[in-house]
């Protein structure tokens, strides 16, 4: 197409609202504006003055799908501010809660949002039960999601805004028989996930973005909740320094802040984690996915899908190990001593590094909070990837519908979450 | 899965300003109910599930989230016009909170966000759904109460003659 003005108003099958404006003149891509179009709910302001114990459940409401990641990251920041060290049992239960989130959330993205593209359908709901392969993937969709969802319910009381997870521990502990039921359910999903990994390895698209950096917080267990910040150059630093590398970028047409990492355009999420730390995946996961892991490190942004599929398996294998050995003992949340301090929490949410920095006053009230979410960090990279695709392919595409379809696929590959991103926009436009 | 000759309930699922937790719970409810619901429900609009969107002649519109701008208000009015029944889903739709929290900000915080409110044409105050259109049923909770949702859906499946 030589000349084009295209507005994609509502990008479908993503979390929240985003749009994209494209302008092409005489074959030149003159403008690409990727816009996070969610209206803000002003959590940065709303958290001020809130008590530290109430904060995690409030910020969980920033996002329905990443809810438990916000909850766990906020708890970590609060506990750091109060110098509270959770027990080993609490750490294991939090890992299970988060693995449940990874399975459910990656499952939603891969099966419900992306799989229809692979099968040339608009929706997972259009899969034909008369077709054995489509029927299988329809059943797999809901079985895998359910396994993650149920694990989060067993441990946290709910897969969204888990009510039992709190500062210092858990207000209710899971029953042994509930955990065993979850264990059996997770074991049963393994073959389904292996099929999903193979499918994405064989069928997904390629879009190489050369000038892209990656960042991830990873430990030797690939736990998502702990570890050092690892950069593209291999350097490993204390994750509490994460905020120091982030350069805030104003995107005047978007409801969300963008970021560069140490001055560079970068990506966070499953692709970043596998590129930087695939050696730390669960041994059983590594054994089962040896062939597929060879593609990492990769600069093909569509490999984020394959990386997520492998992470589902890692979350399942890691959860199975914990569940086989866990004997839950009676334990109450640790007592809290409110005091002045600063607490940083950094974890890997499903979509990438999530950063909380909280300033707490002597009475335990939040003075200020800085929260940086994965999709804000990926915003510049998403726009750049769309531009790169168009520059390379615009001459060969003859319909607006095709462009719209391809742009939506690129956005979807990043698995963005607009509900999260739109709440943290600084005002520096003048 | 959804192609069949059986009469179906024409449904739209719409999210306004919120964290979309009830959308997530709805997609998780499908884990258990998809075999029962998909042959009986036609999703005319549900951007989380599909590109296709036909906001016309809906039997039931499910509305999640609070109303933050004039544009959202206009869209909600349009949906109401096209829907025989309209259900508010989750706390933000039913009572406005927590999306409505900026309505309660002290002057100092209101001043801090003023430029954004003007730049992106936010409404002066955030509204719950019933402040804008008549609501036929509420599914309260943050996130929505799943049992109430299933019960409301069952009621409409019967009322519209989809199930006996």
Does the CB of A39 have a partner CB in chain B at under 8 Å?
A: yes
Answer yes or no: is B84 within a domain.
Answer: yes
CATH number at residue A193: 1.10.645.10
Whether residue A46 and residue B31 make contact (CB cut-off 8 A), yes or no, is: no
Answer yes or no: is B64 within a domain.
Answer: yes
Whole-number Å distance between alpha carbons of B56 and A186: 41
Answer yes or no: is B129 within a domain.
Answer: yes
Answer yes or no: is A31 within a domain.
Answer: no
Answer yes or no: is A344 within a domain.
Answer: yes
- The strand pairing partners of A210, in sequence order, are none
Residue-range definition of the domain harbouring residue B14: 9-156
* Total domains in the fold of chain A: 1
Answer yes or no: is B109 within a domain.
Answer: yes
Answer yes or no: is A9 within a domain.
Answer: no
**The model's pTM:** 0.95
Residue A240, pLDDT score: 92
CATH number at residue B110: 3.40.50.700
* Total domains in the fold of chain B: 1
Answer yes or no: is B3 within a domain.
Answer: no
Answer yes or no: is B106 within a domain.
Answer: yes
- Reported as a single tens digit per residue, the pLDDT across A213-234 is 999 999 999 999 999 999 998 8
Residue B7: CB atoms within 10 A of its CB come to 11
Does the CB of A161 have a partner CB in chain B at under 8 Å?
A: yes
Answer yes or no: is B1 within a domain.
Answer: no
Answer yes or no: is A147 within a domain.
Answer: yes
- Reported as a single tens digit per residue, the pLDDT across B32-48 is 999 999 999 999 999 99
Please identify among residues 17-76 of chain B the ones whose CB lies closer than 8 Å to any CB of chain A.
17-25, 27-28, 30-32, 34, 38, 43, 47-53, 68-69, 72
3-state secondary structure of B108: helix
Low-confidence ranges of chain A (pLDDT < 70): 1, 423-430
Answer yes or no: is A33 within a domain.
Answer: no
Cα dihedral A389, A23, A373, A230 sign: positive
Whether residue A142 and residue B30 make contact (CB cut-off 8 A), yes or no, is: yes
User: Which is higher by pLDDT, B66 or A422?
Assistant: B66
CB A81 within 8 A of CB A395: no
- Write the DSSP string, A239-285: GGGHHHHEEEE--TTSSS-EEEETTB-EE-SHHHHHHHHGGGS-HHH
**Average of per-residue pLDDT across B145-157:** 98
Q: DSSP class of residue A381?
A: H
- Write the DSSP string, A76-104: HHHHHHHT----HHHHHHHHHHHHHHHHH
Whether residue A39 and residue B115 make contact (CB cut-off 8 A), yes or no, is: no
User: Which is higher by pLDDT, B60 or A234?
Assistant: B60
Residue-range definition of the domain harbouring residue A371: 43-421
Strands laid side by side in the A28-36 sheet: A4-8, A18-25, A28-36
Answer yes or no: is A256 within a domain.
Answer: yes
CA distance A63 to chain B (A): 4
Q: Is the pLDDT of residue B58 over 70?
A: yes
Chain A residue with CA closest to B31: the answer is A142
Residue A423, pLDDT score: 57
Answer yes or no: is B4 within a domain.
Answer: no
Residue B4, pLDDT score: 56
Q: Is the pLDDT of residue B81 over 70?
A: yes
């Amino acid at each position: 197409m030589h000349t084009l003005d295209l507005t994609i108003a509502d990008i479908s099958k993503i979390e929240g609202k985003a749009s994209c404006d494209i302008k092409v003149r005489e074959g030149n891509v003159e403008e690409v504006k990727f816009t996070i179009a969610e209206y803000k709910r002003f959590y940065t302001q709303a958290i001020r003055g809130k008590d530290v114990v109430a904060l995690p459940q409030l910020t969980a409401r920033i996002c329905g799908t990443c809810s438990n990641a916000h909850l766990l990251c906020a708890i970590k920041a609060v506990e750091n501010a109060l110098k509270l060290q959770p027990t080993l049992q609490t750490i294991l239960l939090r890992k299970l809660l988060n693995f449940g989130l990874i399975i459910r959330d990656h499952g939603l993205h891969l099966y419900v949002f992306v799989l229809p593209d692979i099968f040339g359908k608009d929706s997972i709901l259009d899969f034909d039960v008369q077709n054995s392969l489509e029927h299988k993937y329809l059943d797999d969709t809901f079985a895998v999601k359910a396994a993650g969802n149920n694990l989060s319910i067993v441990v946290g009381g709910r897969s969204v805004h888990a009510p039992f997870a709190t500062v210092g521990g858990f207000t209710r502990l899971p029953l042994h028989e509930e955990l065993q039921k979850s264990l059996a359910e997770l074991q049963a999903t393994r073959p389904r996930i292996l099929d999903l990994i193979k499918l994405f390895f064989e069928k997904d698209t390629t879009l190489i973005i050369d000038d892209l950096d990656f960042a991830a917080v990873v430990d030797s267990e690939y736990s998502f909740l702990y570890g050092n910040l690892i950069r593209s150059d291999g350097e490993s630093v204390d994750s509490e320094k994460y905020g120091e590398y982030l350069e805030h970028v104003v995107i005047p047409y978007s409801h969300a802040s963008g970021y560069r990492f140490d001055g560079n355009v970068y990506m966070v999420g499953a692709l970043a984690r596998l590129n930087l730390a695939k050696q730390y995946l669960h041994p059983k996961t590594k054994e089962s996915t040896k062939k597929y892991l060879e593609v990492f490190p990769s600069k093909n942004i569509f490999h984020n899908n394959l990386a997520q599929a492998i992470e589902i398996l890692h979350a399942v294998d890691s959860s199975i190990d914990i569940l086989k050995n866990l004997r839950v003992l009676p334990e109450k949340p640790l007592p809290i001593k409110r005091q002045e301090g600063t607490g940083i929490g950094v974890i890997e949410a499903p979509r990438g590094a999530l950063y909380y920095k909280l300033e707490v006053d002597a009475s335990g009230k939040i003075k200020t909070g800085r929260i940086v979410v994965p999709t804000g960090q990926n915003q510049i990279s998403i726009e750049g990837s769309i531009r790169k695709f168009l520059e390379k392919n615009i001459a060969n595409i003859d319909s607006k519908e095709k462009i719209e379809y391809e742009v939506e696929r690129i956005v979807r590959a990043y698995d963005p979450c607009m509900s999260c991103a739109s709440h943290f926009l600084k005002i520096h436009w003048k | 899965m959804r192609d069949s000759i059986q009469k179906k309930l024409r449904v739209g699922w719409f999210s306004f300003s919120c964290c979309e937790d009830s959308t997530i719970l709805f997609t998780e409810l499908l884990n258990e109910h998809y075999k029962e619901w998909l042959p009986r429900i036609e999703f005319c609009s549900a951007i989380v599930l599909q590109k296709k969107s036909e906001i016309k002649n809906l039997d039931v519109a499910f509305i999640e989230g609070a109303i933050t701008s004039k544009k959202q208000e206009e869209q909600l009015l349009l949906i109401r016009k096209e829907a025989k029944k309209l259900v508010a889903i989750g706390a933000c739709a039913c009572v406005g909170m927590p999306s409505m929290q900026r309505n309660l900000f002290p002057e100092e915080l209101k001043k801090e966000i003023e430029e954004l409110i003007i730049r992106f044409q936010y409404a002066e105050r955030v509204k719950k759904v019933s402040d804008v259109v008549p609501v036929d049923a509420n599914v309260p909770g943050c996130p929505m109460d799943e049992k109430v949702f299933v019960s409301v859906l069952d009621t409409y499946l019967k009322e519209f003659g989809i199930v006996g």
